[in-house]
Structures are given as structure tokens and as C-alpha cells.
Amino acid sequence: MEKLAGAPQAAARLEGPLRREIANSEQLRAAALALIFLFLFLLASLVPLITGRANQALEPGATNPGLRSWYILLLGGFAAFEGAIWALLRFARSPSVTRFYLLGYLAALVEISVPSALLLIMAQGNAASSALSMPPVFLYFIFISLAALRLDLRLCLFTGAVAAAQYILVSQALLHSATDIDPVFLTPMQYVGKPMLLFLAGVGAAFVTHQVRVQVERTVATVGEHQRVLGIFGRHVSPAVLTRLVDGGLVGETREVCVLFLDIRGFTAFAEGRRPDEVVIYLNTLFDFMVEIITRHGGMVNKFLGDGFMALFGAPASEENDSANAVRAALELRAALTRAIEEGRVPHTRVGIGIHRGEALTGLIGSLERQEYSVIGDVVNLASRVEALSKKLGAEILITDAVRTRAGEELVGDAEALGPIEVPGRDAPVEIYRLA
């Protein structure tokens, strides 16, 4: 049968929380860029005034005294833009998905335009060919890399394509207006090579984005599956079984299982004359050590039945000889109950246990919001009726021939054969054996 649903639902719910985290990351990113460019804006504005060189451009080779104003305008404008992005993400109510992504594209377009603007400004105070080899060219790659933080594959491709297109336009504008062009800037590398590298940088950022999203989705799905298994099985399986369930997933299938039913004799009369809290304390005391015994022998308490429970051996995971494990658990339950009575932890209590082995359908039943691991089949019905027979036959532990055959002579060789017994609801009699 197919692997049961659960993990896909966890991954499907990723988009909303992921978008919120990206928005938080965008706030920090916008705030950092705003502060950096605000610092550069203040530096460009104040340092020349302090040093008395107010009319000199920022670049050492610059000769145009108006360049400083352009630098200041660019730095101040970009700082203001990033500040506005931060304020919009910080104070605006949850933006729609469309507005959120449009904001990302707008920010990418403005940011990738910063190195283009710097190149155009530098070309006013330097040779055009020199401007194209200056550090602002590398800012394209920095902003393309930063685009990967948005975890949007298309946005990364957009940023790389815009960077390549803007570099082509800027370089063509500068080279066609220059009179002293270095021949090296007329080679194909300038026209094709650099723009291609910028676009490939966008492709690389998109690839990284895709891989990160895939890993995040897988992690969320794995954690969701783990939490789902914990929610379904809780403390009722051993850590080893729980680990296998998490690693292998929950699989609905037909398999051989051993079912143990336990019933507390005379519980109705016991509860009738006591307060509800006393009854709960009594049941919790019993079930505390009984569940621990079932779990230690590789079983799982699947259902609590008020005055008893149903335990499974062999599902959801098998522990080699499940029939032998069920018999050992039943014998230890009886011994542990005797000790608890002798130590005064519980009043005198008698239990009846019935065990049967057979084929059953195992899997999750319920809705996506509430599911329960269940075992369906005749093995469950017969195990319940064998437990009911224990009261009629005055026995504490009864097993069927299917259990005796698989458990082994060493463990159940002394079991007393009670012969074929008519069981309500069944046409053929059942071979029953008494262990205690």
C-alpha cells in the first residue's frame, strides 16, 4: 500500500511561515543597507567640509566639482529607499502575496541600478574606459548574491538579467561617447563576456535558492512526520520502534500481529463505591507499570478501554517473535500486579488476559486533523472473545493455538490445553490454552 499521507501536508503549509521569515529577513537586510548607505551619505557630505575640500570630487582622479553632489544624492536616495522598504515591512499589516513579491522585484531593480548609477557618475570625472574597470562593477555581483536570500528563483534570474542588461546599456553609452577608448574595451569580452557572467551569477543564485527551498521543505516535511508519529504513538511504543517509524514512515499494510486484551475483573463494583478521583488514581497506578511492561517487550498499547486495554505486538513494527513477546509481557503483568498488591500500592485486583495471533490490516484511520493507528481484522475480535472466556473459565491468561505454536515450547510448553471451545460469533471451535 502507499505511504500514508502526512508529510506532504506539512510541506504544503510551508509557504506562509516561509514568507513571514523572508519578510523578517528583508527587514534586517533593508535596515542594514539603509544604515550603510546613510553612513556613506554622511561621510560624503561632512568629510569634504571638515577637510576644506568641499569642491573636490570623491574619486582621486575626478576633476568635475559637481560630482560630489551626485554621489551625495545617490547615497542619500538609496538610504531613503531602503529605509522606506524597512518601514513598509515593519509597520504595514501583512501584505498580500502579490504585493510582497512586487515589493521584492522593485527592491531588486533599484538595488541593481546603484552600480550602474555609480559607473555613470564616475565616467564624468574619469575616462570612460577607466570607469568600467572600477570597483562599482563588482557591486552587481554583491546585489545578485543578496537576491538569493529572498529564496525566490525567478527573482534571482530577474536580478541577473537586469544586471546584464544595465551593464550593456551603461558600457555602450560610455564607450560611444568617449574619444580615448582603450582597444581592450572594444573586445567581445566587454560586450558579451561580462554581461554573460552577470546573468550566470543570477542563474547560480537561482540554483542556490532552489536547493535551499528544497532542503527546507524536506526538513519541514521530516519534522512534520516526526511530530505526527509522536502525536499518534506518544509514549506507547519503545524508543527503538519509534525511531524506525520516523525513519520508515507509517505504512498501511496487511501483516501478522499478536493482539493482547486485558480486563480488570470487578471494576464496575470497585468504581461504584468510590469517588471519581480515587478511581482515576487507581487506574493510573495500574496502567503506569502495565504500559511500561508492554512497551519493554516490544508492544504498543493501542487503546484504553476504561477498565482495560488492547495491546499490539508486531504492529506498527515487529520485534522478531511477537507471540513470545506477548506471552512474556502477559506473565510479567501478572507477576507485577501481584507485587503491587503485596506492597499495598493497589487494592486486591484480578485481571483477565486473552492473546491471539493472526492477519490484520494496519494503518491510520480518521481525518487529516485527527488520526488513530488501528488494527482491523478477525484477530482483534477473537482476542477480545478469548479474554472474555478467561472470566468464564476462571483463568488469568488464555492463549490460542496460533500463539502457542509460534511462542515456542520453552515458553508455553506447560500451558494447559482446554480443548476446542465454542466462541460466541464463530462457527468453528477454537483451541484454547491456559497459562495461568
Res 62: pLDDT: 44
pLDDT of residue 245: 53
- Contact 67/123 with Cβ under 8 angstroms? no
Q: Would you say residue 213 has pLDDT above 50? A: yes
3-state secondary structure of 265: coil
pLDDT band, residue 335 (cuts 50/70/90): very high
Residue 4 pLDDT level (bands cut at 50, 70, 90): very low
Which tens digit of pLDDT belongs to each residue from 278-333? 888 888 888 888 988 998 888 888 888 878 888 888 877 777 788 889 999 999 99
Burial 255-272 (b: 16+ CB within 10 A, else e): bbbbbbbbbbbebeebbe
Which of 72-81, 266-275, 362-371, 393-402 is predicted least confidently? 362-371
Is the model's pLDDT at 260 over the cut of 90? yes
Q: CB neighbours of 247 closer than 8 A, spacing ≥ 6?
A: none
Q: Where are the alpha helices (DSSP H) in 234-303?
A: 239-248, 267-272, 276-296
pLDDT of residue 60: 42
Q: What is the tally of helices (H) and strands (E) in the chain?
A: 16, 8
- In order, the DSSP letters of 344-407 are TSS-S--EEEEEEEEEEEEEEEE-SSSEEEEEESHHHHHHHHHHHHHHHHT-SEEEEHHHHHHH
What local confidence, expressed as pLDDT, does residue 153 receive? 83
Please tell me the predicted confidence (pLDDT) of residue 429.
85
Give 81's pLDDT tier (boundaries 50, 70, 90): confident
Interval 338-342 mean pLDDT: 90
- Omega before residue 48 within 30° of 0, cis: no
46-71 pLDDT, tens digit per residue, is 765 555 554 444 444 444 556 677 77
DSSP 319: -
| Largest distance between two CA atoms of the chain | 113
pLDDT at res. 30: 81
**Grid coordinates in use for 220?**
519541514
> Domain limits of the chain?
7-226, 235-434
> Strand 397-400 relative to strand 416-421: parallel, antiparallel, unpaired?
unpaired
Which is higher by pLDDT, 347 or 94? 347
> Of the CATH numbers 3.30.930.10, 3.30.360.10, 3.30.365.10, 3.30.70.1230, which one belongs to the domain with range 235-434?
3.30.70.1230
Residue 422: all three cell numbers together? 465454542
